[in-house]
Structure 1
Amino acid sequence: MAKLKFEEDERLGIITLVDTPMNLIDFEFMEELEKLVKDIQTHELRSLLFKVDKGNFSAGANVVVFKDLGEEAARELLKEFVGIITKIESLPFPTMAAVNGMCIGGGFELALACDYIWASENSQFAAAEILIGIVPLGGGAQRLAQRAGIARAKEIILNGRFQKPEKLEKWNIVNRVLLESELNEKAIRFMKAQAKGPTLAFNTIKLLLKEYHNAGLDQSDDLLIEIVPNLFETEDIEIGIESFKKQGPGKAIFKGK
């Protein structure tokens, strides 16, 4: 049985986790996800949403995967999972995880790979790997520190306890907390709007922020000077300027070209 379902709606790609109620991450899950992320690049998408329709976003890894896993096999597993996470982060358009229920371990790391995390008021987050004697396997420690700082990342990871979404919103990990009944509807509406935005400019922002995080202010300024001039030769800037002149700000519908 498939663990993920993909559909496309107005240039928004939607990946629904359907192995309910827990959506455990195992080799089959990773294989499906890796294939989907690869195939997505042929769909001309302009935004991507991960969601669940019922049950939990993901209760993390199926720990059976780790039984009798030796050092070399573990290294290959890490390469595969981190590779999937970085591919999601590198997608050239906005991405979101709409989280309901439990979001634990690898499920939390999948959410952290996205540009936005929206969560229902009933969601619970945990980096629970420490409770079985390991650490986040998809770069979750680093990505929590990137969003919330090292001290707060340590508090989340070293304890392994559940965290409420309101707390994580204050810590800049979750972007928005909504009612469960409204989460998917509002997430889809928002990401459809993102899919009509200036996709090339969105990707440029993602590249600049990544460079700033990895290399600092001076290098990100250098990258800005290198890549931003390309935006002045796009159809989108013409659309944006013309719409601004005729309708005012925020009314343009871009082509992503």
Structure 2
Amino acid sequence: MLGAAHTPLRLSFDGPLAIITIDSPPLNIFDEEMWQAWFTAVSRLERDVPRALLIRAKGSVVSAGIDVRIFADTPSEEVAAYWRRNLSIVQSLERLPCPTVFAAHALTLTAAFEIALACDFIVAVGGARFGLVERRVAFTPAMGGTQRLAARAGVSRARELVMTGKLYRASTLVEWGVVNSTHGSAKFSDEAYRFALDLAASPTQAHAGTKRVLGEYLRGGIAAADAILPSVAHTVAETVDHRRAVEEFLAHGPDHSAEYLGR
């Protein structure tokens, strides 16, 4: 486990699965202590890359968002550097080669929602609400949420969510393509954990290849993704997991039970 018990989030490892748990009651606010805890956790993940990452929260909300005092206390000449630093958390999470899952059981605002949008999967309780509500302080989302929302749901939906500052239920965001799946609240924690653990036990290097291809697509479209695909295919074809899975498939068919080692 990372850090002392009083830190606003914890990083733990369950075999191949890394788990970040946001736990800063009562509202899991993003203040300076929270930012620093995220930098520490992300730096550890970059050094010790897991086979999957689950991000979850404790308490009645996932997060009520950013500490508004930050806007009052940050000198204007430091604003760009301040948000460049915080944006790097999102960018580091996106660069992780493993599958990443954000589990939202309740209200998820501003910075927490932007971190969720940097993950490969968002799973949520159907009634959980999400919002980029910076409009309330005459600001714009500064951790990349706007553009990442547009990548998932389109520019029109991004404009709607950000410019209105309204809250949207997970059940609506599933229809938009922002949230991957919704679940009942009773077993949500266990279901999210099992989903992430299954990803951690799956062909890690193949997933890394998928993330590389999709990253190139987002940067440069189909042509850019096509340009790197042969090299990605070659890299994945050299992995132990691929060779073993092919052998098992040929011997036992598509329902084989090959164990993936992540290499």
Q: Normalising to structure 1: TM-score of the pair?
A: 0.96
Q: Which residue of 1 aligns with 2:91?
A: 86
Distance (whole Å) between structure 2 residues aligned to residue 41 and residue 137 of structure 1: 23
Cα pair 2:56 2:103 within 8 Å, conserved: yes
* Contact 1:119–1:174 (8 Å) recurs in 2: yes
Q: Does 1:144 align with 2:144?
A: no
Cα shift at 1:247:
3.4
- Could you tell me how far apart the structure 2 residues matched to 1:21 and 1:247 are? 52
1:80-131 Cα offsets, whole Å, 9 max, x none, are 1111100001101000110011101111101111100001123110110011
Partner in structure 2 of residue 175 of structure 1: 180
- Cα contact 1:16–1:52 (8 A) shared by 2: yes
- The amino acid across from 2:216 in the alignment is E
Unaligned ranges ≥5, structure 2: 1-5
Q: 1:118, 1:183 within 8 Å by CA — same for their partners in 2?
A: no
Q: Residues 136 and 44 (structure 1 numbering): CA distance in 2 closer, same or farther, change over 3 Å?
A: closer
From 32, 35, 38, the equivalent of 2:40 is: 35
* 2:105 equivalent in structure 1: 100
Aligned-pair identity (%)? 31
2: CA distance, partners of 1:242 / 1:119? 37
How big is the shift at 1:242? Answer: 2.0
Q: 1:44 to 1:89 in 2, by over 3 A?
A: closer
User: Structure 1: which 5+ residue stretches go unaligned?
Assistant: none
Query: How far is the alpha carbon of 1:205 from its aligned partner?
Result: 0.5
Question: In the aligned structure 2, how far is the partner of 1:153 from the partner of 1:27?
Answer: 27
Aligned partners of 1:27 and 1:68: how far apart in 2?
A: 11
Higher mean alpha-carbon deviation, 71-80 vs 138-147, is at 71-80
Take 1:207 and 1:20, find their aligned partners in 2: how far apart are those partners? 37
* 1:11 aligns to 2:16 (yes or no): yes
In the TM superposition, what is the alpha-carbon distance from 1:238 to its structure 2 partner?
1.4
Structure 1 residue 75 displacement after superposition: 1.0
Once the two structures are superposed, the pairs formed by residues 26-65 of structure 1 within 5 Å of their partners are: 26-65=31-70
CA distance in 1, matches of 2:68, 2:152: 27
Name the count of aligned residue pairs.
257
Report the equivalent of 2:224: 219
Counterparts of 1:176-215 in structure 2 under 5 Å? 176-215=181-220
2:127 and 2:171 in contact (8 A); partners too: no
Distance apart, 1:43 and its partner CA? 3.1
Cα-Cα RMSD: 1.3
Shift of 1:44: 4.4
User: Structure 1's 68 and 37: CA in aligned 2 closer, same or farther, altered over 3 A?
Assistant: closer
Partner amino acid, structure 2, of 1:220: A
Partner residue, 2:3:
none
Q: Does the residue aligned with 1:67 lie in a helix, a strand or coil?
A: helix
SS of the equivalent of 1:6 reads strand
Moved over 6 A (4+): none
TM-score by structure 2 length?
A: 0.94
Query: Which one of 235, 238, 261 corresponds to residue 230 of structure 1?
Result: 235
Conserved 8 A contact 1:4-1:32 = yes
What one-letter code is carried by the residue in structure 2 that aligns with 1:99?
Answer: A
